[in-house]
Structure formats: C-alpha cells, structure tokens
Structure 1
C-alpha cells in the first residue's frame, strides 16, 4: 500500500518524537516501505548544527540509528531554508515530492487556541499534500 514513508523530524526535539517514530517504523515494517527522515535547517549556525553540511551529517546519523534500532530501511533528506520558521510548510511539501513519499507520518502537539488562528504544520501539510498524512499526537 505504501512504499515511502516521510517523517519530518526536528533534531532539537528528537526526544519528543517517539510515538511518531514508532508509528512510522511499524507502518514501514507492515508495508515493507522505506522511511525518509526529513529535517529543515537554516544556512546559518543554529542550536543543532553550525553548517548545512553538519546538519545533514547529523540527520544521516539519526536515520542510520533509527534503521538499526527499529529494523527498517531508512535514509535522510536534509533541506536548507533561509528561514525555517516561515518556510517549514512549503519546504515539507517540496520534500514530499523530492522524496517520492506516498505517506507522511508526523508528530504534532495537542491543539490549542492559537491553532484556530494559525494552522499547525501538520494541519497545513494534511491540507495541501497530495499524499496521505498521519498526524500522531503526543510525545
């Protein structure tokens, strides 16, 4: 049913993604699909990495560790953005196309009042992506 599962990850908060990571791995095992972990970073130094190359290397290491821990085929797809805070939704939509994903599994928070004014990243992706999107709430 699914061949490529895209999982957006924020390496600065990887410890809060376990439910989504587990869900993606379970689906990948069920459908014998590969998982692509997508991370978006700025070209300038940040909390996770000083350069886009360092960020890509850390994302690759994350994907390799997930593959080893969860028994799945996994790769990484790093995206560099001028302003990840404002470019995240379009960057993730582009990544769906770039990775050939036919399913996106992403973590999200429990909605609050601001989500009625500004849509969440998961809600925006689910609204605009042409593939199935599974939003996994909670840590």
Structure 2
C-alpha cells in the first residue's frame, strides 16, 4: 500500500520522536516499505554542525541507527532551509515531492491556544501534501 514513508526528524529533539519513529517502523514492516528520514538544516553553522556536510553525517548516523533498531530499508534526505524554524512547512512539502513519498509519518504536539491562530507544522503538511499524512501526538 505504501512504497515510501517519509519521516521528518528534528535531530535536536530526538527524544520527542519515539512514538512517530516506532509507528513509521511498524507501518514499514506491515507494508514492506522503505523509510526516508528527512532533516532540515541551514547553510550557516548550527548546533548540529558547522557545515551542511557535518549535519548530513549526523542524519546518516541517525538513519542507520533506525535501520539497525527496526530492521527496515532506509534512506535519508537533507534539506537546506534559510531558516528551518520558519520555513519548515515549505521545506517538508518540497521533500514530499522530491522523495515521491506516499505517506508522511510526523510527530506533533497536543494542540494549544496558539494552534487556533497559527496552524501546526503537521496540520499544514497534512493540508497541502499530495501524500497521506499520519500525525502522531507525543
């Protein structure tokens, strides 16, 4: 049913991804799907790397760790954003198209007051992506 599952990952907040990662792994096993982990960084230095190449190494290590833990086929995609905090929705929508994902499994938060004014990242991706989107509240 699903050939490629895209999972956006924020490597600075790995601890909040657990439920979404296990959901994606379960779906990959059930559907014999590949999982593509997508991370976004800037071209300027960040806490995760002085260069995009350093960030990509951490994304590759994360991706390989997921493959070892869950046993599914994996790939990764690094996206460059001017400011990942404000550009992440557009970056993720672009990644859905570029990867050809037919399902996005995405961690999200419990809605709060601000979500009535500004849509969550997951809500925007779900509203605009061509792929199915599974939002997992942690």
Deviation per CA, 1:4-32: give whole Å up to 9, x if none. 00000000001110000000000000000
TM-score, structure 1 length as denominator?
0.97
- Structure 1 segment 1-139 matched on structure 2, within 5 A: 1-138=1-138
Deviation per CA, 1:50-109: give whole Å up to 9, x if none. 111111111011001100110111111000111111111011000001111000000000
Instruction: Look up the SS of the partner of 2:133 in the other structure.
Output: strand
Q: Unaligned stretches of 5+ in structure 2?
A: none
Displaced runs of 4 or more, over 2 A: none
Q: Distance in 2 between matches of 1:119 and 1:38?
A: 21
TM-score, structure 2 length as denominator?
0.98
Q: Distance in 2 between matches of 1:121 and 1:49?
A: 24
Q: Distance in 2 between matches of 1:42 and 1:117?
A: 27
Q: Distance in 1 between matches of 2:119 and 2:60?
A: 29
Q: Distance in 1 between matches of 2:5 and 2:68?
A: 17
1:121 Cα offset (Å)? 0.3
Deviation per CA, 1:101-131: give whole Å up to 9, x if none. 0000000000000001010000000000011
Aligned alpha-carbon RMSD (Å): 0.6
1:47 Cα offset (Å)? 1.5
Q: Distance in 2 between matches of 1:27 and 1:55?
A: 27
